[in-house]
Structure 1
Amino acid sequence: MRSLNLSILLAATALTGCTAMSASGPSARSIDSEASVKVAPAKDKAKSGVDYALVDISSTVLKYVPNVGAEGLSEGFGGGRGPIPTLPLGAGDVVQVAIFESQAGGLFIPGDAGSRPGNYITLPAQTIDRQGFISVPYAGKVPAAGKTTEQVRVDIEDRLANRAIEPQVVISIVSGVSAQVAVLGDVNTPSKIQITEAGDRILDVISKAGGLSASGEESYITLQRRGRSARVRYNMLVDKPSENIYVIPGDTLLIDRERRTYTAFGASGLNGRFDFEESNLTLSEALAKSGGLLDSRADPGQIFLYRVVTKDFLRNLGVDTSKFPTNDVPVIFRANLRDPSMFFAATKFPMQDKDVLYVTNSDAAELSKFFDLLNTTPAGTANLTGNALSTKDAIRSF
Structure 2
Amino acid sequence: MAQSYKTIIASACFLAMSGCTIIPGGHFEGLQQGEQTENLEKELEKVNIQLIDSALISLHKKNLQNTDLQRKMPKAGLDVSSYEYKLGVGDVLTIGVWDHPELTIPAAVQRSAEFDGFKVQPDGTITFAYAPKVPALGMTVSQVREELVKRLSRVIEDPQIDVKVVSFISQKVYVTGEVKQPGVFPVTETPLTLIDAITQAGGLNERADWKTVTFTRGNDTEVIRLDDFYSKGDISQNRLLQHGDVVHVSRNDQRNVYVLGDVKRAGTVEINRYGLNLAEALSEVGGIDERSADANGIFVLRKRDLERDGVIADVYQLHAKNIASLVLAEQFELGPQDIVYVTSAPLARWNKVISLLLPALTSVDRLQDIDNQ
* TM-score (norm. length: structure 1): 0.60
1: CA distance between counterparts of 2:176 and 2:288? 43
CA shift in 2, pair 1:217/1:82, >3 Å: same
1:177 to 169, 176, 181: 169
What are the superposed Cα offsets for residues 84-123 of structure 1, whole Å, 9 maximum, x if unpaired? 44322122211123345xxxxxxxxxxxxxxxx5477237
Question: Residue 280 of structure 2 contacts residue 330 of structure 2 at CA under 8 Å; is this kept in 1?
Answer: yes
Matches within 5 A, 1:286-365: 286-295=281-290, 297-308=292-303, 325-326=307-308, 330-337=313-320, 341-362=324-345, 365=346
Aligned length: 304
Corresponding residue number in structure 2 for 1:63? 62
State yes or no: 1:28 paired with 2:28: no
CA shift in 2, pair 1:276/1:93, >3 Å: same
Shift of 1:177: 2.0
State yes or no: 1:145 paired with 2:142: no
2: CA distance between counterparts of 1:358 and 1:258? 22
1: CA distance between counterparts of 2:302 and 2:309? 14
Shift of 1:337: 3.6
* AA of the residue aligned to 2:277: T
1:253 to 243, 247, 250: 247
Question: Residue 180 of structure 2 contacts residue 201 of structure 2 at CA under 8 Å; is this kept in 1?
Answer: yes
1:121 to 80, 90, 103: 103
Shift of 1:149: 0.6
2: CA distance between counterparts of 1:160 and 1:151? 14
Question: Residue 41 of structure 1 contacts residue 49 of structure 1 at CA under 8 Å; is this kept in 2?
Answer: no
2:220 to 225, 228, 239: 228
* AA of the residue aligned to 2:59: T
Max Rg structure? 1
2: CA distance between counterparts of 1:356 and 1:148? 56
2: CA distance between counterparts of 1:350 and 1:262? 11
More helix by share: 2
Matches within 5 A, 1:1-398: 26-29=29-32, 47-48=42-43, 51-56=46-51, 57-65=56-64, 80-84=77-81, 85-99=83-97, 117-118=99-100, 121-122=103-104, 125-162=117-154, 164-215=156-207, 221-232=213-224, 235-243=227-235, 245-250=238-243, 251-259=245-253, 260-276=255-271, 280-295=275-290, 297-308=292-303, 325-326=307-308, 330-337=313-320, 341-362=324-345, 365-366=346-347
What are the superposed Cα offsets for residues 279-335 of structure 1, whole Å, 9 maximum, x if unpaired? 63211111222343344554444532222468xxxxxxxxxxxxx642696422343
Question: Residue 221 of structure 1 contacts residue 233 of structure 1 at CA under 8 Å; is this kept in 2?
Answer: yes
2: CA distance between counterparts of 1:24 and 1:346? 32
Q: Percent identity?
A: 24
Question: What is the alpha-carbon root mean square deviation over aligned residues?
Answer: 4.3
Question: Residue 188 of structure 1 contacts residue 212 of structure 1 at CA under 8 Å; is this kept in 2?
Answer: yes
2: CA distance between counterparts of 1:264 and 1:306? 10
Shift of 1:176: 0.3
Corresponding residue number in structure 1 for 2:5? none
* AA of the residue aligned to 2:143: Q
Moved more, 150-159 or 225-234: 225-234
* AA of the residue aligned to 2:104: T
Corresponding residue number in structure 1 for 2:353? none
CA shift in 2, pair 1:27/1:326, >3 Å: closer
2: CA distance between counterparts of 1:217 and 1:83? 27
Question: Residue 217 of structure 1 contacts residue 234 of structure 1 at CA under 8 Å; is this kept in 2?
Answer: no
DSSP-derived class of the 1:64 partner = helix
CA shift in 2, pair 1:348/1:332, >3 Å: same
Unaligned residue ranges in structure 1 (runs of 5+): 1-22, 101-116, 311-323, 371-398
Shift of 1:175: 0.3
* AA of the residue aligned to 2:278: L
Corresponding residue number in structure 1 for 2:358? none
CA shift in 2, pair 1:62/1:96, >3 Å: same
Shift of 1:171: 1.4
DSSP-derived class of the 1:326 partner = helix
2: CA distance between counterparts of 1:332 and 1:347? 17
